[in-house]
Amino acid sequence: MRRADAEAEAAGQGRGWGWGRARGTARARWLRWPRRSDRGGIAIEAAIVVPGVVGLVLVAIAAGRVQTAAGTVEAAARAGARTGSLQRSVAGVDKPAADSALATLDQQGVACRTSRVQVDTGTMDLPGGQVATVTVTVFCDVELADLLGGPSGLPVTTHLKGTFTSVMDRYRGT
């Protein structure tokens, strides 16, 4: 056994392990070479992941705003049908029902690019006899820029439709 091996063995480093044995070899140069750190790795990962996460959050916000606007259109149809059902005669239903539906859209802040309110009257057979009904359908094309608070003029719109039927009070007639 060479003297360097004996000294390494006595120092508890064992043969071929540690700094004592590998001074001039390639392994020793590799061990002494400064290792590259992971500094900046988190910044790169964040630069890759954060835009995707932000995009998903924005899509969730957009979907929530569209759902809120759709709920408002449904509420406008409900308000119009209820207002129409409170009229004294079937002949005077159209204008108050349409006005009520459009007022509800205005109050809730939904700006329709194009809107249309369709009021239909009909009858329903019940065990106690026939009753008159009022069905209000609200059509509203909303620009997504209006919903998301972005720049106006984007060509992307969503078509929303709300329908509600209300029974006219049979004892309210003239």
Contacts (Cβ under 8 Å, ≥6 apart) of 16:
22
pLDDT band at 4 (very low <50, low <70, confident <90, very high): low
Residues 96, 77, single domain; the answer is: yes
State the residue range of the domain holding 20.
3-32
What's the pLDDT at 77? Answer: 96
* pLDDT at 168 (0 to 100): 86
Rounded-to-integer distance, Cα 69 and Cα 63, Å: 10
φ and ψ at residue 173, rounded to 5 degrees: -65, 170
pLDDT digits (tens, 9 = 90+) for 99-148: 999 999 999 988 888 999 999 998 888 888 888 899 999 999 988 776 66
Residues 49, 105, single domain; the answer is yes
The answer on 163 and 100 residing in a single domain is: yes
Model confidence pLDDT, tens digit, residues 20-77: 555 556 666 666 666 666 667 788 888 899 999 998 998 888 888 889 999 999 999 9
d(CA 131, CA 133): 7
In-domain check, residue 95: yes
Bridge partners of 167?
Answer: 133
